[in-house]
Structure 1
Amino acid sequence: MTETWDARIAAIWADDALDDQERIAAIDAIAAERGDDDPRALFERAGARDSAGREEDAEALYRRALDGGLDGEHRPQAVIQLASALRNLGKIDEALGMLRGEYERTPRDAFHDAAAAFYALALSSAGHDREAVSVALTALAPHLPRYTRSVTGYARELTERRP
């Protein structure tokens, strides 16, 4: 059932012909198969609303999903997406705290760079542009075919030297 359920959810996300309301309705219908308190279903319902610009509706669903316990693949996504929604709702300090925790978490996972990107956005929203650029460059550096060490050093210097 899980693979089929996951594939059906993925198909909805991949369907560009759906508008926001249609996507929400389709995800809600599939999520209902798991019940009202299933963390994964709550996560998908939250994501559909978040994607539609309904961050306030998404916030409560993300929180319930996280409180209910998500697996290792979906927990970091829920943290990042909730924090992004909070940033958009003007709750910058809470978003920063969540994203900092996810960014600094060890061991690093497949969502570390995504956490870095959203952490950088939240830092910038909080007026910490030098720190935001440093976080973004630090995440980018390992992906460069050359200059990894140089870019990492420059990123560190952004937060060590103050103008």
Structure 2
Amino acid sequence: MKVYGVTGWKNAGKTGLMERLVAEITARGFSVSTVKHAHHAADVDQPGTDSFRHREAGASEVLLASGKRIAMMQELRGAPEPPLSDLLARLAPVDLVLIEGFKREAHPKVEAYRVAAGNPLIAAENETVRAVASDTELNFDRPVFDLDDTAAIAGFILQEVGL
């Protein structure tokens, strides 16, 4: 599987860019999966559901399956967060995995950058950032795309991974 990331600080436009890239790349005929990093105790389950009750009772893993989707919830219960490579190994094969976050991992990335967020460019200190998608013009040593030019960003990523 090919892997490419979207990184950036909070409120830089990562999630919107990810959403648009998934739509654009799948419309071009490629299969795409995503991995999203969260810095908080994200929970996709709701109190009161059967699966939530299973986890609360102490289950290490709960697999929720229906005719429409499957969800796997795993409680770390104090164990360290698994590395990205372990998470990727759990995915079914696809043409491309887009990764949101994980800015310190070694995979290639495009940085979402909004000047109003007031943060420095991650790319200035991180060579794994291969391009910047920005809402302002930048004079930089790597490609800079308009943050809203999804087709151009998708084309760049697909070229980078050889698809």
Identify the structure with bigger relative contact order (alpha carbons < 8 Å, sequence gap 6+): 2
What TM-score does the superposition give when structure 1 sets the normalisation length? 0.28
What TM-score does the superposition give when structure 2 sets the normalisation length? 0.28
